Structure 1
Amino acid sequence: MTAYTPLNGLPYPQATDTADVPAHLQSLAEAIDSRTVLRFATATARDTAITTPAPGMVAWLTSPGQLTHYTGTVWAPVAPVPVFLYNNDAGTTTSTTPAETLTSATGDPLVAAFVAPPTGKVIVTVGSMMFNSSATTCYMGATVKKVSDGSVFLASGIDRAAMIIGTDRASTSSQFLVSGLTAGTAYSATPTYWSAVPTSTNTANYDNRFIRVDPIY
């Protein structure tokens, strides 16, 4: 009768078992298979292959290059992994509503993709060197969206935005908590830019822009 190791429950034959080396090796290989670091191209490929994951399973995802583990409820990153994006190409806007792209800048929008941790909470930080062409306010915020359908989870707003008032160029940043995210679900955080005054002579200017998303565990 097959016996099992005390810690991982791996099968091994007894002296009284029928001699069948291929069958015994297959049994051992199948038991070990789910305990190794599994490798998949994407989360979708992982979820298709593993329909009933067991707590403690570990899987590497080629895209986005992340090691995940199954908590018993969701697949989550093995360790907190901040997402950081940076753009040093300067740009401007005259928009008075949050815009994800700037005039004369390349590389926009800066879409910081992340997976919500088991707590459903992340810290989003945005920052830039900013100034306005007149003595008024320019803002830099961020919009959080659900990747699967593009729906807005948290809209950009003044109460969470970095801001500068006036024509003097200065570095500024803002950091805010996003909570209530669905654990294991893919989201994105994208910087937004806008000016307080809608005139053709008023321009909000940005340079050395960044966004960072830090999961809270």
Structure 2
Amino acid sequence: MNLRSSWVDETGQTREDTRLTQTGVTTPANPVQVRSGIFPGSYDGRYRLAGFWTFGSAAMSATVSEGRAIIQGDISQGAYPVTLPASEVVTFSPGHAQYSRKDLLVLKIYDRLYDTVEQNAAKIEIIQGEARQDPQPPAVPARCLPLYEVTVPAGASAGTGGIPWNSALKDLRTPVVSLGGIIPVEGPVLPGAYPGQYQDAGGALQRWDGGAWVSYPSAIGGIIPSSASATTPASYTGQYRDHNGVLQRWDGSVWRPAYPGPYYTGSNDHGYTTSTTYTPTLLETGSSPLDVEFIAPPSGAILINYGARMWATSSTPHTVVMGLRLTQAGVTKIAESDETACFYSGTTPASMSSTTRFYNLTPGLPYVITGMFKCGANTTQIRANYDNTFIVVHPQY
């Protein structure tokens, strides 16, 4: 019978039985196996992962700090807990004369049930890589947990200054926690073992949804906080996030302002027209036509505030008019009209403005509002003048 147990039989419990059935500090990898890794924690609580921290202590030697870990064997072998109660020094072989190499510093389990060895032991070892022009780290053997990748330069030795420890060490340690615990992410991001598992990704609490790690605010439909990384992905169209004080909404492709607008265009450049019919063109100005583009809001309605400093060049009061035209993809949807226009009759400049509302727009489509201008009945080429012209579109939500 394959079913294993521990602390049931009065005699006959094997070491393999104990390893297979232990339920201590383990992070599941599947229904039977656990992750290999380092138990997190530090003496002062300032660091996530202090166990087996390694630093250069001599030209060719490094010191491995104390720590605890667990190393998963094959599916039928169980998991091996190991502890280093005091730091240990390891020494690397001198570098190759011509090429550098990449060594692995590892925790290695020797079990004579599965190895051709005479003893059972847990050891800190250096697996030496091959010296070559493009060095690669060696393969990781069974029942072995990598701690660091160490680059040994060509010609490195105690007499030549040794290994440059500040740049030679690549940290490969990953943490594990007890069943159901929140994993502090260090090193590679590994997949979850079950939906509902959590990990702390440094700036966001994440939940495994069965296929990906999803930031916790996303998983519950909340607003992703500004403290989360800017690269934190959205999990559905319509999700919101606080981005530097601006509320944004995920549209399925990009983050956009949740409440865009108001949209503005304006010109402080004087222009005029002598046309007695509406025209978008003002003469003697570099800001013609006066356009503002906007995206129709979900309500399909907008408020438009518009106006200018207006006057007629005439010896008697004369009508000066500013209207609006709405287009979508170049097609006029709402034509300019005296009903929504701003009027002024006078030869002395005056600031005039008006507000109107357009509705029944298609939400999400881009529209353009253009300023339209005309002069009243004009038989003597009277000018209708405009300055400080502006249009403001306020989406209604």
Which of 334, 344, 366 matches 1:186? 366
Which of 206, 209, 212 matches 2:389? 209
CA change 1:205–1:57 in 2 (3 A) is same
Task: Note if 1:132 corresponds to 2:312.
Answer: yes
Counterpart AA for 2:372: T
More helix by share: 1
Counterpart AA for 2:237: A
Task: Note if 1:199 corresponds to 2:199.
Answer: no
- Aligned residues of 1:38 and 1:58 also touching (Cα < 8 A): no
For residues 56-135 of structure 1, the aligned pairs below 5 Å read 56=239, 68-69=248-249, 77-134=257-314, 135=317
Cα distance, 1:90 vs structure 2:
0.3
Which of 324, 332, 340 matches 1:142? 324
- Aligned residues of 1:133 and 1:201 also touching (Cα < 8 A): no
CA change 1:38–1:125 in 2 (3 A) is farther
Task: Note if 1:162 corresponds to 2:342.
Answer: yes
The answer for the alignment partner of 1:46 in structure 2 is none
Secondary structure in structure 1 of the residue aligned to 2:360: coil
CA change 1:83–1:115 in 2 (3 A) is same
Which of 50, 54, 65 matches 2:237? 54
CA change 1:155–1:19 in 2 (3 A) is farther
- Aligned residues of 1:91 and 1:104 also touching (Cα < 8 A): yes
Counterpart AA for 1:95: S
Cα distance, 1:67 vs structure 2:
6.6
Cα distance, 1:15 vs structure 2:
7.0
Mapped to 1, the partners of 2:332 and 2:319 lie a distance apart of 25
Mapped to 2, the partners of 1:171 and 1:214 lie a distance apart of 21
Task: Note if 1:176 corresponds to 2:332.
Answer: no
CA change 1:16–1:23 in 2 (3 A) is closer
Cα distance, 1:79 vs structure 2:
2.2
Mapped to 2, the partners of 1:182 and 1:68 lie a distance apart of 21
- Aligned residues of 1:129 and 1:171 also touching (Cα < 8 A): yes
Unpaired runs of 5+ in structure 2? Answer: 1-26, 36-188, 193-198, 200-206, 219-223
Task: Note if 1:22 corresponds to 2:190.
Answer: yes
Which of 194, 214, 218 matches 1:31? 214
Counterpart AA for 1:56: Q
CA change 1:165–1:99 in 2 (3 A) is same
Mapped to 2, the partners of 1:95 and 1:162 lie a distance apart of 16
- Aligned residues of 1:94 and 1:200 also touching (Cα < 8 A): no
Mapped to 1, the partners of 2:279 and 2:379 lie a distance apart of 16
RMSD, aligned α-carbons: 3.6
The answer for the alignment partner of 1:45 in structure 2 is none
Mapped to 2, the partners of 1:14 and 1:100 lie a distance apart of 69
Max radius of gyration: which structure? 2
**Equivalenced residues, count:** 186
Mapped to 1, the partners of 2:301 and 2:334 lie a distance apart of 13
Normalising by the residue count of structure 1, what TM-score does the alignment of the two structures yield?
0.71
Q: Deviations over 1:167-198 (max 9, x none)?
A: 22211011100111111111111111111224
- Aligned residues of 1:80 and 1:215 also touching (Cα < 8 A): yes
Query: After the TM superposition, which parts of structure 1 deviate over 6 Å for at least 4 consecutive aligned residues?
Result: 36-39
Mapped to 1, the partners of 2:394 and 2:380 lie a distance apart of 37
Normalising by the residue count of structure 2, what TM-score does the alignment of the two structures yield?
0.41
Mapped to 2, the partners of 1:190 and 1:182 lie a distance apart of 18
CA change 1:31–1:192 in 2 (3 A) is same
Counterpart AA for 1:23: P
Task: Note if 1:151 corresponds to 2:319.
Answer: no
